[in-house]
Amino acid sequence: MDMLLQKTLLKVIVLGDVGVGKTSLINRYIHKKFSHQYKATIGADFATKELQLKDKLVNLQVMGHGGQERFQSLGSAFFRGADCCMLVYDVSLLKSFESLLYWRQEFIKQTDIPDPENFPFVVIGNKIDIDGGANRTVAQRMAKEWCESNGRVPYFETSAKEDINIDVVFLSAATAALSRE
Protein backbone atom coordinates (compact mmCIF):
# COMPACT_ATOMS: atom_id res chain seq x y z
CA MET A 1 0.00 0.00 0.00
CA ASP A 2 1.19 3.52 -0.79
CA MET A 3 2.44 4.97 2.52
CA LEU A 4 1.22 8.43 1.49
CA LEU A 5 -2.36 7.21 1.72
CA GLN A 6 -2.02 6.73 5.45
CA LYS A 7 -3.23 9.88 7.14
CA THR A 8 -2.13 10.42 10.70
CA LEU A 9 -4.08 12.75 12.96
CA LEU A 10 -1.91 14.73 15.35
CA LYS A 11 -3.26 17.11 17.97
CA VAL A 12 -1.20 20.03 19.21
CA ILE A 13 -2.40 22.18 22.13
CA VAL A 14 -1.21 25.78 22.49
CA LEU A 15 -1.24 27.22 26.02
CA GLY A 16 -0.09 30.48 27.62
CA ASP A 17 -1.19 33.68 29.31
CA VAL A 18 -3.64 36.18 27.87
CA GLY A 19 -2.33 38.03 24.83
CA VAL A 20 1.01 36.25 24.41
CA GLY A 21 0.11 35.55 20.78
CA LYS A 22 -1.36 32.04 20.71
CA THR A 23 -4.03 32.93 18.12
CA SER A 24 -1.52 34.95 16.09
CA LEU A 25 0.93 32.04 15.93
CA ILE A 26 -1.82 29.71 14.77
CA ASN A 27 -3.12 32.21 12.20
CA ARG A 28 0.36 32.91 10.89
CA TYR A 29 1.12 29.22 10.48
CA ILE A 30 -2.21 28.04 9.09
CA HIS A 31 -3.54 31.10 7.22
CA LYS A 32 -0.28 33.05 6.67
CA LYS A 33 -1.91 36.13 8.17
CA PHE A 34 -1.27 38.52 11.05
CA SER A 35 -3.53 41.11 12.66
CA HIS A 36 -2.46 43.94 14.96
CA GLN A 37 -5.90 44.02 16.51
CA TYR A 38 -6.34 42.14 19.74
CA LYS A 39 -9.51 40.08 19.92
CA ALA A 40 -9.61 37.94 23.03
CA THR A 41 -10.26 34.29 22.30
CA ILE A 42 -13.47 33.09 23.87
CA GLY A 43 -13.26 29.36 24.42
CA ALA A 44 -10.81 27.89 21.94
CA ASP A 45 -9.25 28.37 18.50
CA PHE A 46 -9.22 25.38 16.25
CA ALA A 47 -7.39 25.00 12.95
CA THR A 48 -6.02 22.18 10.85
CA LYS A 49 -3.30 21.80 8.28
CA GLU A 50 -2.23 18.91 6.16
CA LEU A 51 1.47 18.30 5.79
CA GLN A 52 3.81 15.58 4.79
CA LEU A 53 6.24 14.36 7.42
CA LYS A 54 8.70 11.69 6.38
CA ASP A 55 6.54 9.04 4.69
CA LYS A 56 3.34 10.11 6.44
CA LEU A 57 0.55 12.42 5.42
CA VAL A 58 -0.32 14.26 8.61
CA ASN A 59 -3.48 16.09 9.52
CA LEU A 60 -2.26 18.54 12.15
CA GLN A 61 -4.96 19.77 14.49
CA VAL A 62 -3.92 22.90 16.37
CA MET A 63 -5.96 24.06 19.34
CA GLY A 64 -5.40 27.25 21.30
CA HIS A 65 -7.38 28.39 24.32
CA GLY A 66 -8.42 31.85 25.42
CA GLY A 67 -5.92 32.89 28.09
CA GLN A 68 -8.62 34.53 30.15
CA GLU A 69 -10.78 31.45 30.26
CA ARG A 70 -10.84 29.61 33.48
CA PHE A 71 -8.82 26.58 32.59
CA GLN A 72 -11.36 24.10 33.89
CA SER A 73 -14.08 25.57 31.67
CA LEU A 74 -12.34 24.23 28.57
CA GLY A 75 -13.28 20.71 29.52
CA SER A 76 -11.36 17.52 29.15
CA ALA A 77 -12.27 17.14 25.43
CA PHE A 78 -9.96 20.06 24.70
CA PHE A 79 -6.98 18.12 26.01
CA ARG A 80 -7.99 14.59 25.11
CA GLY A 81 -5.63 12.87 22.72
CA ALA A 82 -3.04 15.67 22.74
CA ASP A 83 0.21 14.61 21.09
CA CYS A 84 2.23 17.74 21.83
CA CYS A 85 1.82 20.87 23.93
CA MET A 86 3.22 24.29 23.03
CA LEU A 87 3.80 26.63 25.97
CA VAL A 88 3.91 30.24 24.81
CA TYR A 89 5.12 33.37 26.57
CA ASP A 90 5.79 36.96 25.49
CA VAL A 91 9.52 37.85 25.72
CA SER A 92 8.58 41.38 26.81
CA LEU A 93 6.40 40.19 29.71
CA LEU A 94 8.18 38.48 32.58
CA LYS A 95 4.91 37.39 34.16
CA SER A 96 3.97 35.38 31.10
CA PHE A 97 7.32 33.57 31.34
CA GLU A 98 6.76 32.87 35.04
CA SER A 99 3.40 31.31 34.13
CA LEU A 100 5.02 28.57 32.03
CA LEU A 101 5.27 26.24 34.99
CA TYR A 102 1.61 26.79 35.81
CA TRP A 103 0.50 25.95 32.26
CA ARG A 104 2.74 22.91 32.10
CA GLN A 105 1.38 21.60 35.39
CA GLU A 106 -2.22 22.33 34.43
CA PHE A 107 -1.78 20.49 31.15
CA ILE A 108 -0.39 17.46 32.95
CA LYS A 109 -3.23 17.59 35.49
CA GLN A 110 -5.97 17.98 32.89
CA THR A 111 -4.79 15.34 30.45
CA ASP A 112 -3.88 12.80 33.07
CA ILE A 113 -1.05 11.59 30.83
CA PRO A 114 0.74 8.55 32.22
CA ASP A 115 4.29 9.64 31.31
CA PRO A 116 4.50 13.45 31.78
CA GLU A 117 8.31 13.32 31.93
CA ASN A 118 8.42 12.03 28.38
CA PHE A 119 5.53 14.01 26.93
CA PRO A 120 6.64 16.37 24.13
CA PHE A 121 6.38 20.00 25.17
CA VAL A 122 7.76 22.91 23.14
CA VAL A 123 8.40 26.35 24.66
CA ILE A 124 7.97 29.47 22.56
CA GLY A 125 9.17 32.98 23.39
CA ASN A 126 7.01 35.09 21.07
CA LYS A 127 7.09 38.78 20.01
CA ILE A 128 10.87 39.00 19.57
CA ASP A 129 10.28 41.78 17.04
CA ILE A 130 9.06 44.30 19.63
CA ASP A 131 11.28 47.40 19.45
CA GLY A 132 13.99 45.29 17.90
CA GLY A 133 14.30 43.41 21.21
CA ALA A 134 14.94 46.55 23.28
CA ASN A 135 11.93 45.88 25.51
CA ARG A 136 12.82 42.34 26.18
CA THR A 137 12.48 41.31 29.84
CA VAL A 138 13.23 37.61 29.52
CA ALA A 139 16.77 36.79 28.45
CA GLN A 140 17.22 33.88 26.08
CA ARG A 141 19.59 32.26 28.58
CA MET A 142 16.89 32.33 31.28
CA ALA A 143 14.38 30.65 29.00
CA LYS A 144 16.87 28.02 27.88
CA GLU A 145 17.73 27.23 31.51
CA TRP A 146 14.05 26.83 32.33
CA CYS A 147 13.62 24.43 29.42
CA GLU A 148 16.70 22.47 30.39
CA SER A 149 15.52 21.99 33.97
CA ASN A 150 11.95 21.12 32.99
CA GLY A 151 12.56 18.01 30.97
CA ARG A 152 14.94 19.34 28.31
CA VAL A 153 12.12 20.97 26.42
CA PRO A 154 13.00 22.38 22.97
CA TYR A 155 13.00 26.18 22.92
CA PHE A 156 12.17 28.53 20.04
CA GLU A 157 11.87 32.28 19.71
CA THR A 158 9.28 33.58 17.29
CA SER A 159 7.52 36.56 15.88
CA ALA A 160 4.03 35.93 14.56
CA LYS A 161 4.13 39.51 13.29
CA GLU A 162 7.32 39.20 11.26
CA ASP A 163 6.89 35.51 10.47
CA ILE A 164 10.08 34.45 12.25
CA ASN A 165 10.53 30.75 13.06
CA ILE A 166 6.82 29.96 12.68
CA ASP A 167 7.08 27.02 10.28
CA VAL A 168 10.10 25.70 12.19
CA VAL A 169 8.29 25.63 15.51
CA PHE A 170 5.16 23.91 14.19
CA LEU A 171 7.27 21.42 12.26
CA SER A 172 9.18 20.64 15.43
CA ALA A 173 5.92 20.16 17.35
CA ALA A 174 4.49 17.93 14.64
CA THR A 175 7.67 15.86 14.48
CA ALA A 176 7.69 15.45 18.27
CA ALA A 177 4.01 14.51 18.18
CA LEU A 178 4.60 11.97 15.42
CA SER A 179 7.36 10.33 17.43
CA ARG A 180 4.73 9.25 19.97
CA GLU A 181 2.64 7.43 17.37
* Whole-number Å distance between alpha carbons of 80 and 91: 29
The answer to whether 136 contacts ligand GTP (rule: CB under 6 A) is no
The answer to whether 125 contacts ligand GTP (rule: CB under 6 A) is no
Q: Which listed residue (61, 110, 111, 126) binds ligand GTP by CB under 6 A?
A: 126
In sequence order, the β-bridge partners of residue 45 are 64
Residue from 141, 145, 165, 6 nearest 86 by CA: 165
Which range, of 50-58, 70-78, 156-164, 173-181, touches ligand GTP by CB under 6 A?
A: 156-164
* Whole-number Å distance between alpha carbons of 166 and 25: 7
Count the neighbouring beta carbons within 10 Å of the beta carbon of residue 162: 13
Q: Taking the complex as a whole, how short is the minimal distance between the CB of residue 157 and ligand GTP, in angstroms? A: 10
Closer CB to ligand GTP, 126 or 178, in the complex: 126
* Whole-number Å distance between alpha carbons of 105 and 102: 5
The answer to whether 92 contacts ligand GTP (rule: CB under 6 A) is no
Closer CB to ligand GTP, 83 or 90, in the complex: 90
* Whole-number Å distance between alpha carbons of 145 and 45: 30
Q: Which listed residue (10, 15, 24, 165) binds ligand GTP by CB under 6 A?
A: 24
Q: Which listed residue (8, 30, 56, 66) binds ligand GTP by CB under 6 A?
A: 66
Which range, of 1-9, 38-46, 111-119, 165-173, touches ligand GTP by CB under 6 A?
A: 38-46
For the sheet containing 44-53, what is the strand order?
Answer: 44-53, 56-65, 7-16, 84-90, 121-126, 155-157
The answer to whether 44 contacts ligand GTP (rule: CB under 6 A) is no
